[in-house]
Chains A and B, each alone.
Chain A
Amino acid sequence: MSSDLVLDLYSDLLTELWEIVSALIGEAILAFLFTLAIRKLGEKHPFLLSLEVSEEGVSCEKMKEDCRAVAPAEIHRGFQGLINQLSHLFSALADGVINKELFPKVFSKVREAERIISQ
């Protein structure tokens, strides 16, 4: 599986996550949380620093340019870490309210991504 394909998978996933969570807590706070999570994981998975976050949303376009040489498994691990970190932040903020909305739609896709990559 190519890096582009994994990136596309997670790009769609993040777009969906953004739509759900921004409706709950607003774009400004969500952008802040994304930036916080990326900063936290940037050292371990430097390719995440190419993720563009603004109040408009999250974009993987620059990342696609920058990450051609990054292994699909590393991209998968990085995004998995990012989603876990965001989930941890959501839970710290609102107990289970955000994650309850996210689980059925997004987390099933994370599992699906895991399955595809492991094949």
Chain B
Amino acid sequence: MRLIFKNLNVLRSTINAISTGVEIKEIVESAGNNLPNLFDFCSFGVFWKEDLLLFLYQEESCPPSFAQEVVKNMINVFSILGEEPIDAERITLQVDQGKLRAKQRMVSPKATLKSHLTLPLAVEGEILGCLSLSSDRPNAFDAQDLQFLSVIGYQMAASLKHFQRFSSVKNMATYDTLTGLYNRRYFEERLEVEAEKSFYSGAPISLVMVDIDHFKKVNDTFGHTDGDQVLCKISSLLKASVRKKDTVARYGGEEFILILPEARLEQSFVIAERIRQLVENTPFEVGRAQVNLTLSMGISNFPSHRVKSKEELIKMADQALYDAKRGGRNKVCIFTEKSSQWTVPT
């Protein structure tokens, strides 16, 4: 009886730990840390279908061949449950090998998988993945183990579903659904942080506002579906042309905006000019036709321009973009206080 109470207490704290996790790794880790107090196993695995991630917690002494068997078994069970074959090569395996218990359990180097309990992580009829306990001993698990694991699995599935919903809401709030670039809302947030950092430290920061020239013509001639494809292609070019620390966002219809932290004016001009030339020299497949497109861009910078707020930085980049448009398009313009000054492409 005392043993049951002890187990129920461990079960309770395991569930509590799982339910407070907000990231998938955290949820799986909570389970991985608590389960050795409940079950006698040498490997615990969680497979997360959405990202094809497989987390494996196992005894330090488990041979690699054992881990391979566990992975194979989990994929096999999941394929039966999910009614679709899973390509093992596409799975990202995260193995955490260490001491699961204070008193280490020695696993033979020749150990093979002898018994397992594998349960689907199912919520509202949807299968999110599966979790599995594996042992090198035959008949290592009994009905009570299965009951406990199902309770843990139920809580994990609920927490993971919550995480999935949260991620999808977070994605919607962060990314532009068409282009996959950051959206305007995220851009505003990011600029707030980066601008504050620069204003405080004095480090430079540049904003580049980008607009596709005569994009309306593309939409009018080829239709919005093809127009959307052009937006996606240009988004990819923008993303590929900046540094890792830069932020590329869709600002509006055919307008994009780049935050270039720690970029001096000359540096940001080089980046913008490179992008302008790249787009100018890229033929775009639209329907059955091939079209050439150009970009107009406006740059503002701190500390080169006297700005005190992120709003001013945006306004100046917008003004410079306006100058580029007015100056004949296919140009990169830098904001100037009085008259606009634009550079002519070479």
Contacts and interface: CB of A to CB of B under 8 A. Distances in A.
A95 B150 CA distance: 15
A97 B154 contact: no
Contacts of A31: 125
B115 interface: yes
A29 B125 contact: no
A68 B83 CA distance: 31
B146 A36 contact: no
Given A29-B120, A32-B120, A97 B125 contact: no
Contact of A26 (B76, B142, B154): B154
Given A26-B150, A32-B125, A36-B83, A97 B119 contact: no
Interface residues of A, number: 23
Interface string B114-127: 01111110110101
A57 B116 CA distance: 27
Given A97-B143, A101-B143, A26 B151 contact: yes
A116 interface: no
B141 interface: yes
B143 A24 contact: yes
A73 interface: no
A28 B154 contact: yes
B153 A29 contact: yes
Contacts of A69: none
A19 to B, nearest CB: 14
A111 B77 CA distance: 28
Contacts of B123: 28
B83 to A, nearest CB: 7
Contacts of A32: 81, 120, 122, 125, 127
Interface residues of B, number: 27
A39 B76 CA distance: 19
Contact of B81 (A26, A36, A96): A36
A100 B145 CA distance: 14
A89 B150 CA distance: 15
A18 B180 CA distance: 46
A94 B146 contact: yes
Interface string B89-130: 000000000000000000000000001111110110101000
27 contacts: A24-B143, A24-B146, A24-B150, A25-B119, A26-B150, A28-B122, A28-B123, A28-B157, A32-B81, A32-B122, A35-B125, A36-B81, A89-B80, A89-B81, A92-B76, A92-B80, A93-B77, A94-B146, A95-B115, A95-B116, A95-B139, A96-B139, A97-B141, A97-B142, A97-B143, A97-B145, A100-B143
A100 B139 CA distance: 11
B305 to A, nearest CB: 59
B147 interface: yes
A89 B81 CA distance: 8
Closest 10 CB pairs of A and B: A32-B122, A26-B150, A25-B150, A24-B146, A94-B117, A97-B146, A93-B118, A92-B80, A26-B154, A95-B115
Contact of A94 (B125, B127, B141, B154): B141
Interface of B: 76-77, 80-81, 83, 115-120, 122-123, 125, 127, 139, 141-143, 145-147, 150-151, 153-154, 157
Residue among B123, B127, B142, B150 with most chain A CB within 10 A: B150
Interface string A3-41: 000000000000000000001111011011101100110
A25 B142 CA distance: 12
Contacts of B80: 89, 92
Residue among A23, A40, A92, A93 with most chain B CB within 10 A: A93
A39 B80 CA distance: 13
Contact of B118 (A28, A36, A94): A94
Nearest to A31: B125
A98 interface: yes
Contacts of B120: 29, 32-33, 93
Contacts of A23: 147
B337 to A, nearest CB: 66
A92 B122 CA distance: 16
Contacts of B81: 32, 36, 89
